[in-house]
Amino acid sequence: MSDLLLNHLGGAWHAGRGAGTALFDPVLGNELVRVDATGLDLAGGFAFARDQGGAALRALTYRQRGELLGAIVKVLQANRDAYYEIATANSGTVKNDSAVDIDGAIYTTGVYAKLGATLGERRFLVDGEAASLAKDGVFQSQHLQVPTRGLSLFINAFNFPAWGLWEKAAPALLSGVPVVVKPATATAWLTQRMVKDVFDAGVLPAGALSVVCGSSAGLLDALQPLDVLSFTGSADTAQLIRSHAAVAQHSVRVNIEADSVNSALLLEGEAPGSAAFELLVKEVVREMTVKSGQKCTAIRRVFVPEALYGAAAEAISARLAKTTVGNPRNETVRMGALVSRTQLNAVREGLKGLQQQAEVLHDGARHALVDADPAVACCVGPTLLGSRTPDSAARLHDTEVFGPVATLLPYRDAAHALALVRRGGGSLVASVYGSDAGALATAALDLADHHGRVHVVSPDVAAAHSGHGNVMPQSLHGGPGRAGGGEELGGARALNFYHRRAAVQAAPAVLAALTA
């Protein structure tokens, strides 16, 4: 039996009391480690985080907390090679895809480390200007944001075990709020290793960072009213979380990132082979294949003018045909595995469902696996579907197949295109491609109410844009409607989730002393 990963809770390491759940190499099929959280004292561990970790963090200024994040960055950089090895073995990702997760985590933490320096020696945030409540301004109201005295619980998805931790933990720790992370079981190894490295380095005060691997049973029961909860995963699980007593009765603040059928839109006026056309094609292929399409921000629907449907199908398919799939340890491989057999089966079933309303334009099954046994490896080639009747193909707008799958859809005019994009019911991101600045600006504004982020790509930013699916810490991550209605990152905006806003009503001299 493989090693059992320890949980860190209450300032100490604990083994679960059960046999544990095995984590596997999705390419080779061998067992790697086991995780188990059976028998943990969650209530006691959470209390320790609030009382010890929270108090120690709140005693520091934003600048000092930023320095802690800077020290964490150094720890993560020192152990970067080990993280890549774990990602290859446990997530089945090629090096470039592992970098999206690991280097993205390090970069994001660094951004918040620098933000701490700009916030300076305060321990709370001043929110706006004071407002007069009496004649001559002798009595005023000043809004403040103070760190919540609870903890932040993160229930994370399997696809980003590194970035998923630190894009939430960095703003939480900078805010002065302790963190408990529950990584997805299938890829918990990398998250646990990062927490262990930070703990071993002695960077954070006791109770500031905890990790629970294995089952999430009991985690929500241990929450208290001033805690906050951030969840990334399926809409079905999100619904269960919203109905839990901690949220429904005790008003635990919750942030949800759920399903998202993201879009790429090529505006009218472009010809096959134009710069904007080629940028769309390149980005669609990249988003389909990076991390084998296992990204909440990946492009799922591709909209082009009706006259360009055939040309777009041919161009995207030609690029996809060059994608080598298989063992990420082989340098010729450009796309690795899905994370597990369960995920492989889910993608196959999802494809069957979409194919009831779409034709196959590029068949992923035609990709021979490199250095991988098809009977063992959780690998699948990229598949492009298409439908010339997007209005009646409801399933294509409602279903997110979490793998290397996208659907090409034609539109008649600009109004039709916008209506089709909105059929997604709210998404994390839409990207728009074109060469007319005015038309691009209009489309971006028209799509903003349905998306957390609108990524506009024109030829003048071809070499500079950050990518449709890349979540940058300076920009908002989240989305309305079916995407969960949550907000993460966005620079300093991320700190709002971990603070409580209050109005202090007092004489100007009191407010001046408070905010000095």
Q: Report, as residue numbers or ranges, the catalytic residues.
A: 257, 296
What whole-number distance in Å separates Cα of residue 123 and Cα of residue 136? 30
Burial 404-435 (b: 16+ CB within 10 A, else e): bbbbbbbbeebebbbebbbbbbbbbbbbbbbb
Cα dihedral 158, 163, 164, 165 sign: positive
Contact between 257 and 232 (Cβ < 8 Å): yes
> 477 Cβ partners below 8 Å, 6+ apart?
167, 257, 428, 452, 453, 471, 487, 488, 489, 490
What whole-number distance in Å separates Cα of residue 412 and Cα of residue 422? 15
What are the angstrom distances between the C-alpha of 201 and each of 68, 76, 196, 345?
A: 11, 10, 9, 40
What whole-number distance in Å separates Cα of residue 467 and Cα of residue 448? 17
The first and second tokens of residue 271, run together, are: 């010809």
What is the distance between the terminal CA atoms of the chain, rounded to a whole angstrom?
Answer: 60
What whole-number distance in Å separates Cα of residue 72 and Cα of residue 105? 11
What whole-number distance in Å separates Cα of residue 68 and Cα of residue 65? 5
Residue 335 is classified by DSSP as B
Q: How far does CA 182 lie from the centroid of its chain?
A: 14
What are the angstrom distances between the C-alpha of 355 and each of 85, 144, 177, 260?
A: 36, 53, 46, 19
What whole-number distance in Å separates Cα of residue 425 and Cα of residue 413? 20
Q: At 341, which amino acid appears?
A: R
Count the neighbouring beta carbons within 10 Å of the beta carbon of residue 22. Answer: 14
Burial 33-47 (b: 16+ CB within 10 A, else e): bbbbbeebebeebbb
* Residue entry with tokens 């909209």: 303
DSSP string, 115-178: HHHHHTT-SSEEEEEEEE-SGGGSSEEEEEEEE-SS-EEEE--SS-TTHHHHHHHHHHHHHT--
* Residue entry with tokens 């030829």: 459
Helices (H) and strands (E) in the chain, counts: 16, 23
Contact between 42 and 219 (Cβ < 8 Å): yes
Burial of 119 by CB count in 10 Å (0-12 exposed, 13-18 middle, 19+ buried)? Answer: middle
